[in-house]
Structure formats: structure tokens, C-alpha cells
Amino acid sequence: MSVRRSLLTTRIHEILKNHSSELLTEWFSNLSNSGVRRDALMKEGELREQCAEFLRLLTQASQHGNVTDINASVYTPVRELLERLSRSRSLQGFSPSETATFIFSFKQPLFSWLRREPSSQLQQVAEDMWNATQLLDKLGLFTTEVHQRTREEVIMRQQQEMLELSTPVVQLWDRIVALPLIGTLDSGRTQTVMETLLQRIVETGAEIAIIDITGVPTVDTLTAQHLIKTVTATRLMGAECVISGIRPQIAQTIVHLGVDLSGVVTKSSLAGAFRWALRRINQNAPGSLAPGKV
């Protein structure tokens, strides 16, 4: 059986080797007709070079008699090429199906040449085509996996950038910083909030940090716990923390949930928290209310 399989895979290699020019022409024609190139994203010469490189590497890999295990070391150059192409296509805006079509469209010309090759047995041709199908299907799925992984990496990076942009720490006064929060406060964002706030405390030498939750739509038990963790971390850095933006609805929710914020300074507005902070450090902003009228 091993001898027969070697013979089958050798025939596939011989076709790739002896008819590379014809295969490349037919394959490129299929790709162009399928619209997968998308002129606005990829030039004709670039696609042709990619096809030629893939065909060359596939021919080299198949000469060892293996057309079923794409994870074998002989297919490492093929996988590396497809990984680069798939990542590039993902970043350019190609869909997963368009990316996989680069491989799947090679089936028709390869199958056509497999049928043209002289064979004494119909079963041999069928097994040839089955091996070729397995090979191209696996390579096509590999491009899809790389494409999807690349998109996930891009999404995660964009989410992180948005988190950083949505947690700006501003210096309101000497030794006073403020962090206005907008939107839902979950575990991932809490970590970013703490890291950003603590870093700014170190950079500015702030003694008081105001966390304003006016833009947080709802406060549940988890959100309250996240706020307490942030307050605790701030205190460990030697700064006092005050939470502002405690609206009546949020105050009622916190009481109903039984969350203990007794050890945390809270104010109904950012302005109130700022005045409290100024009094705390024995300073008054120009035009501010006199002490005792907070």
C-alpha cells in the first residue's frame, strides 16, 4: 500500500513539475474570472507572482511523496507563504472566502491535468484526485484560520486602543487629577482604568484622584466592586480618591445592592468633587466658592 501511495503522490508531483507553466496560466485565469483579485486591492502582477511562488513551493514539497500532511516539515515554506498572504489579505479587506479561493481555484487546472495523464486504472486516477483534494482543502482551510486569527488580533488591538482613548486622565489642578468614565465598566476596562490612573498619579505626583461616573449608565454589584478596587489601588499609591457623578438612581441602586461605599468619598457632581479636592489640599481656584459652601 505504501508503494502504491508513493506512486500516486509521485504522479501528482510530476504533473506539478512538468506542467507548471500550463497550470499557472489556467489557475491565474480562474482567479481573474472569479473576481478574487479585486483590482483596487491587488495588482495583476502581484497576484501572478504569488501564484508562481506557491506553485514552486508546492512542487518542492510534493517531491518527497507526501501530499496529505501539510504539517510536515517539508510543507513549512508553503505554510509560511500562505500565512503571509492570508495576513496581508485580511489587513487589505479581503473576506475569508476570497482568501481561501486563492487555493481552491487551483483544483480545476490540477484535476484537469490529472485526468489527462495516461493511467492504466480508473481507480488510480480517482485516488490521485482524492489526494489532491485533501491537500488543497487543508491548505485552503489553513488560509482561513490565519485570516480569522489576524482579524481577531486586529479587533483586540482596536479594542485596547479604544479602551485607552476612553479612559483619559486629566490634570485639573496641581496635585489633582480626574478620570471621567463613559459607558460600561467591566473587568477588562477596569484593569485599563487602574493602570492608566496609577500611571498618571506617578507622573503628576497627584494627591487626589477624582473618578467621575456621570457617563456610566448603570451601576451593578460588579461595577461597584470594580470601583472599590480602583479606589483601593489609588490609596496604595498614596493618593486620596473621590467618586463623583452619584446620581439619585445610582445611589438608590447601590443601597439596594447592599454595596458598602462608606469608606469612599462620594459627590453628586464633578464640580462638587473638585471643590472638595481643592479644600483638601488647602487651595482655592480663582472664582471658586468660598470654603464651607461646597
Global confidence as pTM: 0.59
Residue 193 near residue 181, CB atoms below 8 Å: yes
Q: Is the Cβ–Cβ distance between 283 and 294 less than 8 Å?
A: no
DSSP β-ladder status, 170-173 and 176-182: antiparallel
pLDDT of residue 178: 94
Q: Evaluate whether the domain defined by 11-163 bears CATH number 3.40.47.10.
A: no
Topology of the domain comprising 170-284: Transcription Regulator spoIIAA (3.30.750)
Cell 489526494 belongs to which residue?
A: 131
* Cell triple for 134: 485533501
Q: Could you give the angle at which helices 2-18 and 20-34 cross, rounded to 10 degrees?
A: 80
Q: Per-residue DSSP letters for 193-235?
A: HHHHHHHHHHHHT-SEEEEEEEE-----HHHHHHHHHHHHHHH
Whether 211 and 179 have beta carbons less than 8 Å apart is answered as: yes
pLDDT tens digits along 25-73: 999 888 877 655 566 567 888 889 999 999 999 999 998 878 889 999 9
Return the half-sphere exposure (C-beta side, CA atoms, 13 A cut-off) of residue 254.
18
Q: Give the tens place of pLDDT for each residue, 122-178.
A: 777 888 889 999 999 999 999 999 999 999 988 887 766 665 556 688 899 999 999
Q: Please report the pLDDT score of residue 285 as a whole number.
A: 45
Task: Answer whether 11-163 and 170-284 agree in fold.
Answer: no
Would you kindly state where each structural domain of the chain is located, as residue ranges?
A: 11-163, 170-284
